[in-house]
Structure 1
Amino acid sequence: MTHSKSAPRSPGKRERLAAAAARVLHEQGVEQTTLADIARAADVPVGNVYYYFKTKNELVEAAIDAQAESLRAITGALDTLPTPQDRLKALLGGWIEQRELTARYGCPTGTLASELDKRADGLDQAIAQVVKALIDWAEQQFRAMGRDDSRELAVALVAAYQGISLLTNTLRDPGLMAAEGRRLERWIDSLA
């Protein structure tokens, strides 16, 4: 089926499918998720999925795009805060707020990156760009703090988050993420 300019299109259906794909892929993983699972989560008839996405990989790519858009929205909102320390600590706060979800399923981006790395379809590079965007944003914050080692600090921050996400998920202990978040806040304060 091809898209024609005159084909009727429900507003937001494609976006609902992409958002549902991001959520279901996070909860079930790429290999365990079916198009029917995503259609059900998006409240879209499964036959309609093919109108928007021809393959499961296209839906995975849309989920990656949804994660990238979510990151842009989050960092855009954080950019309104007055200082880079406030922005970085607010980012940590958002991660800590998600600790129960992380304990159950892991980091949405990190778990997807790990799973896609085992495939040879190029989607690993797409999710890597989302991680890189986060590192780039954190680097800007550390640079605004006057740090010459801003890239290294940004990598350390994201690595600490990914590490604690893995441990929080593996041990099913959301308290680990809360404790690491507090430690990282102190670390950010010590860098100013």
Structure 2
Amino acid sequence: MTNSVGATSQASKRERLAAAAARVFHEQGVEKTTIADIARSAEVPVGNVYYYFKTKDQLVQAALSAHARNLRDLITMLEQHDRPRDRLKALVRGWVDQRDVAARFGCPTGTLAAELGKRADGLDREAATGMRALIDWVERQFAAMGRSDAGELAVALIASYQGISLLTNAFHEPELMVAEGSRLERWIDSLVS
């Protein structure tokens, strides 16, 4: 019994560190973030971090995994809507709900992908995989709406969100995200045959 409790505690601490890494990398960027920053955010002694993650790049991988888990959870929640159009509009509303975070730090996944995209060490491709998973899900929604151009529409939707996240962050104006969210919902409605 002690072993399973210990294993659960270790898994919990590892997940806490991964979530803290994702949050701190989003707020500060990978290059500016130290392992001590992540330990402090996770409320774990800095020496304990090395028990779970030997390098900062392993923490980056853990952060990418945390983003992937968050995306899976989001998709599970969105799938509760009956119609693909409603799923897409709920996705947009979720983005708009995060407008204050976007104004301060940008999109969590997009900013990390942009930063890692400047590297050529495999983490850049891993970050792109997360973006691809979201595009693929959005494409399936447009295809379920009967759109033969579902792939193009999916890229357009994600590109629009990433662009407005960048502008919202650059200008620190959350209302930009609100206006674009409304436009995207109208656009999605206009695509229904």
Same fold (TM over 0.5): yes
- Residues 17-42 of structure 1: CA deviation (Å, up to 9, x unaligned): 00000000000000000000000100
1:52 aligns with 2:52: yes
Once the two structures are TM-superposed, the CA of residue 189 in structure 1 deviates from its matched residue by: 0.2
Question: Please, what TM-score do these two structures have when normalized by structure 1?
Answer: 0.95
* Alignment partners' CA distance in 2, 1:97 and 1:117: 27
* Alignment partners' CA distance in 2, 1:101 and 1:117: 22
**Aligned AA (2:93):** G
1:164 aligns with 2:167: no
**Aligned AA (1:110):** G
Partner SS state of residue 142, structure 1: helix
- Higher share of residues assigned helix: 2
- Residues 59-118 of structure 1: CA deviation (Å, up to 9, x unaligned): 000000000110010011101111001100000010000000000000011111111111
* Alignment partners' CA distance in 1, 2:189 and 2:181: 12
1:128 aligns with 2:167: no
Q: What is the RMSD of the two structures over their aligned residues, measured on CA atoms? A: 1.2
* Alignment partners' CA distance in 2, 1:163 and 1:120: 24
* Percent identical: 67
Once the two structures are TM-superposed, the CA of residue 120 in structure 1 deviates from its matched residue by: 2.3
* Alignment partners' CA distance in 1, 2:121 and 2:136: 25
More displaced 10-residue stretch of structure 1: 115-124 or 129-138: 115-124
Map of 1:6-155 to 2, 5 A cutoff? 8-9=6-7, 10-11=9-10, 12-155=12-155
Structure 1 runs (4+) greater than 6 angstroms displaced: none
Partner SS state of residue 88, structure 2: helix
* Alignment partners' CA distance in 2, 1:140 and 1:117: 26
Give the equivalent residue in structure 2 for 1:182: 182
* Alignment partners' CA distance in 1, 2:176 and 2:58: 35
**Aligned AA (2:86):** D
* Alignment partners' CA distance in 1, 2:25 and 2:161: 20
* Alignment partners' CA distance in 1, 2:129 and 2:121: 15
- Residues 149-184 of structure 1: CA deviation (Å, up to 9, x unaligned): 000000000000000000000011100000000000
**Aligned AA (1:27):** E
* Alignment partners' CA distance in 1, 2:36 and 2:121: 22
* Alignment partners' CA distance in 1, 2:77 and 2:179: 25
Q: Which runs of 5+ in 1 are unaligned?
A: none
